[in-house]
Chain A
């Protein structure tokens, strides 16, 4: 059986499983559609939240970004796990006690203002849509590869599948489906990593393999994997893998943006409304992180090991020997992956100096310029290596059996689909439940609400697909922008709503608006207005940026602005009414939490 058929088989089988579960547990009423009747056990909920949370950004994109940058991109690892500490300590138990369906309902009630609720809904829609753009980038890569078509066609087909999938069921269907998706995606991520770790270090646990010695026996004897990696990448003029090359300010702010954003994203917070008790909300955040950590502890190993494998494939005779020849790439079996990925347009090479070999090195490095001149090289010849393909290509690069490759294709799709579905649900509930039913047309029937929810989904996915054709960055980078937006708008309002009795309606609204507008404008100034390429006023680099802060890191500054504005405005306006102080008081203690709240 060839690889294409095998991929189809694995992807097809996994889809049949999810759809089967969705049909079996199909959402009936609106209450089930949004929050699954609050009957989900913390461990089950944790697993489903992990699947919901770990998207194309975590599965497909993150290890690639770490592989090509090394230590500097540790921010993704710390940021996307550290946010759960904030969530567990500062938000989850209180929001569960409050006991409503959506995040914006809490903001509307706590700040006793329909305007606050509206602003929160707008913040959620902007952050979630940006998030879906990142997912669509990943969906395009995954579908492009496994159907062996261009990235663009992959994206369009993927968009249809995501839409059909999200419309199929509400969260109840999705909860159990997502448990299945978690199992598929974690197996797909770890199995190839275990194989590769065994190949390179002899250690079956990739997280330990990363810090182990390599099994390769040569003249050099056994060395640590990371030492070896540092050596070969610096030989080629690239920045060393383990050292820091980014300034501390940007790294801290970027990590912080991702952490705060994690705790401010609606589709994750919504999950904590579905556990039976307040104490379960605390455990649930922990269980979620356990299931996430299984992937996140493996990811840095995947990145480092793939970087080593790729570099060695390009330089089979060592970094001082001859580069791989074009002929070998065309014919040798272990280079087949390069030919398949070339079809997607995400990987390319060009024999610039016509010597029949592909020299892969950093042509921007001064030290390499000399070496290149001496050897007659005319620039880096591995001209395009899209970071987002690394994880999906990884088993092929390591020459693993066909079924592993098929499994990874299924896992990548599971990751992208589950999150895209979760986000579309959050967007649709924001539009139909908060915007229409809550504000504009309060008398809408349950049927009308479901219908408008589905229309909102269709619009959101259309916009995301359109922008996903020309994405503002690799999947994880686009997603990082969404986190910045959530960090600057939603998280501060939620936290102040629980931890302060003094922040009032005017303060919260001005804070959210200030944080959102500041962050959004800063991102657009660097990434282009509405992410349209070429409309940016500043280059998207640290040195060229407006305040010396990268657009991906600006969310943390936006959050500080939100807190500051809300505080100052609240202090200079009327104090909160007594019933709001009572509400805050009641949210703070678990006693008296409603079971399944009827709405």
Chain B
């Protein structure tokens, strides 16, 4: 485990703070969307979407059984793409 530095040099430490803040921001945005489509559209806000018909039922049902899964997928790939870019911007990639 020689490469895993426990005393990052000053530059990494300085940039590290900005990098971590940017990461946290990404996580919060992603988790808000994550909760909105599942707990929101799929469960709690379903009555609000009752008017929008989808194939014999309403939009909330679709979100609960399929829509949220598709959004989850998009979220993970978006986060991975964004973070890998961020790693390079802050020069902390492997």
Contact = CB atoms under 8 A, between A and B. Distances in A.
B49 interface: no
B75 A85 contact: yes
B79 A279 contact: no
A285 B76 contact: yes
Contacts of B79: 88-89, 282
B69 A251 contact: no
Contacts of A592: 3-5, 8, 94
A588 interface: yes
Nearest to A70: B61
A96 to B, nearest CB: 10
A437 B16 CA distance: 36
Contacts, number: 169
A594 B1 contact: yes
Contacts of B8: 582, 585-586, 589, 591-592
Given A77-B69, A293-B69, A590 B94 contact: yes
A283 B76 CA distance: 8
A98 to B, nearest CB: 8
B93 A279 contact: yes
* Contact-residue bracket for chain B: 35 or more
Interface centre among B3, B16, B73, B76 (most CB of A within 10 A): B76
Contacts of B68: 77-78, 81-82
Contacts of B5: 586, 592
A175 interface: no
Interface centre among B4, B31, B44 (most CB of A within 10 A): B4
Interface stretch (A126-134, A207-215, A463-471, A532-540): A207-215
Contact of B72 (A74, A81, A225, A595): A81
B89 interface: no
A210 B39 CA distance: 22
A297 B70 CA distance: 9
Contacts of A588: 16, 19-20, 23
Contacts of B91: 591
A586 B70 CA distance: 33
Interface centre among B43, B44, B68 (most CB of A within 10 A): B43
Given A244-B46, A591-B92, A591-B94, A84 B76 contact: yes
Interface string B55-94: 1111001101110111011011101100110010001111
Interface string A222-238: 01111110100000000
Contact of B69 (A89, A252, A297): A297
B67 to A, nearest CB: 10
A99 B5 CA distance: 12
Contacts of B23: 588
Contacts of A285: 76, 80
A227 B38 CA distance: 23
A71 interface: yes
A296 B56 contact: no
Contacts of B84: 279, 282
Contacts of A225: 55-56
B42 A89 contact: no
A290 interface: yes
A527 interface: no
Interface in A218-274: 223-228, 230, 242, 244, 248, 251-252, 255-256, 259
Nearest to B53: A224
Given A78-B69, A589-B12, A211 B6 contact: no
B21 to A, nearest CB: 11
Given A244-B46, A248-B43, A591-B93, A279 B55 contact: no
Given A71-B61, A210-B66, A588-B19, 20 more contacts: A71-B64, A77-B66, A78-B69, A81-B69, A88-B76, A89-B30, A210-B65, A224-B55, A227-B57, A242-B56, A242-B58, A279-B80, A282-B83, A286-B73, A300-B66, A582-B6, A585-B8, A588-B20, A591-B8, A594-B4
Interface of B: 1-8, 12-13, 16, 19-20, 23, 27, 30-31, 34, 38-39, 42-44, 46, 54-58, 61-62, 64-66, 68-70, 72-73, 75-77, 79-80, 83-84, 87, 91-94
23 contacts: A74-B61, A77-B64, A78-B68, A88-B80, A89-B30, A210-B55, A210-B66, A226-B56, A227-B56, A242-B56, A248-B44, A252-B44, A259-B38, A279-B84, A279-B93, A282-B80, A293-B73, A582-B7, A586-B4, A588-B19, A590-B87, A591-B92, A593-B94
Considering the complex of A and B, which 10 residue pairs feature the smallest CB-CB distances, nearest first? A211-B55, A224-B56, A74-B64, A226-B56, A282-B80, A286-B76, A227-B56, A300-B65, A242-B57, A591-B92
